């Protein structure tokens, strides 16, 4: 008959690991807890392989770590039954039996409490080491993805005359071009977070996938032939805000009523009138392009007019092409 692995912990740690014991060498093996959900008739959906060479799929899925709590609960129940029967059974036979069972359960509980924690602690330690290795791998992946992203940025600047441009809404992106296309590459959180979650931002689990993910999911490509024009539009709007100022006649009347001639003299003079001119910059650089027979537009800060003129001078509004 096939030997069975024994589950020690069925859910432990932040990554959701389980631990079982090899029936051959008694070594602790760490596995994903999802594997235990697929147990059917005492068999796992896949084979577990131990370093000692033993492999199999038969498993006892009752977690060893929780067994002493079950024994303790059973012991407590038998003691309660014994106390109740002391009042119901005058001869005491049943009381003696239940007390004997309670003693046996107490011994079993003590054994599981004292002996099993050693293997449970080994299982916890194995899971901790597994999670530590995963954290190191995740940190290394983020660092490698970040370095690969920086390499892509430098290559973008070098090969496509890339530079930073600011949209009208304040978003900053890289913009560049080659002979056929205009490219807009997003800046990863303005490059303010070095190793946080760039792999998730790119949706990759391997550093080799950074290039493909960046260019297929993040970079916007606009064929230069589809760009209609760019132009500086809008203007400066000025608003005058006036504050202060009192009516001399009303001030004199109120001042005389409150303070006689002196009060009238003080309040008869109007307070200083202040005017403040507030400028609203409504200028924007508007770039229009078509895609699949639909017209789209992008707005940039007015200072970026020179940037677009340097990259796609032939698309400047009014320039003959």
What is the average per-residue pLDDT within 307-311?
Answer: 96
With respect to residue 221, please indicate whether it lies within any of the assigned structural domains. Answer: yes
The DSSP annotation for 102-124 comes to: HHHHHHHHHHHHHHHHHHHHHHH
Q: How far apart are CA 29 and CA 127, in angstroms?
A: 9
Report whether 23 contacts 54 (CB < 8 A).
Answer: yes
* Statement to judge: residues 181 and 300 lie in one domain: yes
Kindly report, residue by residue over 57-110, the tens digit of the pLDDT.
888 877 665 545 555 666 667 667 766 666 665 556 666 776 677 676 666 666
With respect to residue 321, please indicate whether it lies within any of the assigned structural domains. Answer: no
* Statement to judge: residues 262 and 309 lie in one domain: no
* Statement to judge: residues 186 and 209 lie in one domain: yes
* Statement to judge: residues 229 and 298 lie in one domain: yes
Give the long-range contacts of residues 24-33, CB within 8 A, separation 24 or more.
Answer: 24/50, 24/52, 24/53, 24/54, 25/50, 25/51, 25/52, 25/54, 27/51, 27/52, 28/119, 28/122, 28/123, 28/126, 29/5, 29/126, 30/123, 30/126, 30/127, 30/130
Q: Which helix (H) or strand (E) holds 15?
A: none
Kindly report, residue by residue over 11-25, the tens digit of the pLDDT.
777 778 888 889 999
Give CA 27 to chain center in angstroms.
Answer: 36
With respect to residue 320, please indicate whether it lies within any of the assigned structural domains. Answer: no
With respect to residue 144, please indicate whether it lies within any of the assigned structural domains. Answer: yes
| Number of domains composing the chain | 4
With respect to residue 60, please indicate whether it lies within any of the assigned structural domains. Answer: yes
* Statement to judge: residues 212 and 251 lie in one domain: no
* Statement to judge: residues 164 and 19 lie in one domain: no
Query: Is the model more confident about 45 or about 256?
Result: 45
With respect to residue 292, please indicate whether it lies within any of the assigned structural domains. Answer: yes
Highest mean pLDDT: which range of 57-71, 180-194, 301-315? 301-315
Q: How far apart are CA 48 and CA 39, in angstroms?
A: 13
Place of tokens 């131990």: 50
* Statement to judge: residues 173 and 216 lie in one domain: yes
* Statement to judge: residues 92 and 53 lie in one domain: no
* Statement to judge: residues 269 and 217 lie in one domain: no
Query: Is the model more confident about 270 or about 170?
Result: 170
Give the long-range contacts of residues 213-219, CB within 8 A, separation 24 or more.
Answer: 214/149, 214/152, 214/185, 218/185, 218/186, 219/183, 219/184, 219/185, 219/186
Per cent of the chain over pLDDT 70 is 71
Report whether 298 contacts 287 (CB < 8 A).
Answer: yes
Q: Note down the domain range covering 110.
A: 67-153
Look up residue 220 and give its two tokens. Answer: 């916007």
Say yes or no to pLDDT of 294 above 80: yes
DSSP-derived pairing of the beta strands 220-223 and 181-186 = antiparallel
* Statement to judge: residues 144 and 92 lie in one domain: yes
With respect to residue 225, please indicate whether it lies within any of the assigned structural domains. Answer: yes
* Statement to judge: residues 149 and 88 lie in one domain: yes
Say yes or no to pLDDT of 271 above 70: no
CATH of the domain at 200: 2.30.29
* Statement to judge: residues 44 and 142 lie in one domain: no
DSSP-assigned beta bridge partners for residue 240:
277
Q: Give the angle 61-110-102 at the CA atoms, nearest 5°.
A: 95
Q: How far apart are CA 208 and CA 146, in angstroms?
A: 12
Q: Is 4 helix (H, G, I), strand (E, B) or coil?
A: coil
With respect to residue 182, please indicate whether it lies within any of the assigned structural domains. Answer: yes
Final residue before a domain boundary, out of 65, 91, 114: 65
Backbone angles phi, psi at 236, to 5 degrees: -90, 130
Residue 121, pLDDT score:
82
């Amino acid at each position: 008959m096939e030997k069975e692995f024994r589950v020690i912990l069925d859910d432990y740690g932040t990554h959701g690991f389980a631990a079982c014991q090899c029936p051959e060498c008694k070594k602790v093996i760490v596995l994903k807890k999802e594997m235990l959900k697929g147990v059917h008739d005492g068999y796992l959906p896949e084979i577990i392989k131990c370093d000692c060479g033993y492999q199999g799929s038969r498993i006892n899925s009752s977690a060893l770590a929780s067994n002493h709590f079950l024994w303790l609960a059973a012991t407590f129940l038998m003691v309660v039954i014994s106390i109740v029967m002391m009042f119901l059974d005058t001869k005491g036979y049943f009381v003696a039996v239940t007390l004997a069972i309670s003693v046996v359960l107490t011994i079993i509980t003590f054994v599981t409490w004292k002996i099993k924690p050693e293997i449970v602690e080994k299982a916890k330690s194995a899971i901790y080491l597994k999670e530590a290795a995963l954290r190191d791998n995740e940190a290394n992946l983020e660092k490698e993805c970040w370095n690969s992203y920086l390499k892509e940025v430098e290559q973008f600047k070098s090969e496509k005359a890339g530079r930073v441009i600011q949209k009208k809404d304040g978003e900053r992106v890289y913009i560049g071009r080659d002979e056929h296309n205009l490219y807009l590459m997003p800046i990863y959180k303005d490059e303010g977070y070095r190793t946080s979650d760039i792999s998730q931002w790119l949706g990759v689990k391997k550093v080799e996938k950074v290039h493909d993910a960046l260019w297929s999911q993040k970079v916007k490509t606009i064929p230069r032939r589809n760009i209609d024009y760019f132009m500086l539009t809008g203007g400066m709007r000025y608003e005058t805000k006036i504050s202060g100022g009192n009516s001399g006649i009303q001030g004199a009347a109120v001042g005389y009523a409150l303070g006689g001639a002196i009060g009238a003299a003080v309040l008869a003079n109007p307070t200083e009138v202040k005017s403040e001119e507030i400028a609203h910059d409504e200028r924007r650089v508007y770039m229009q392009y078509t895609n699949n027979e639909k017209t789209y537009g992008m707005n940039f800060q007015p200072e970026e007019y020179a940037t677009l003129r340097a990259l796609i001078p032939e698309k400047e509004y009014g320039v003959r092409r």
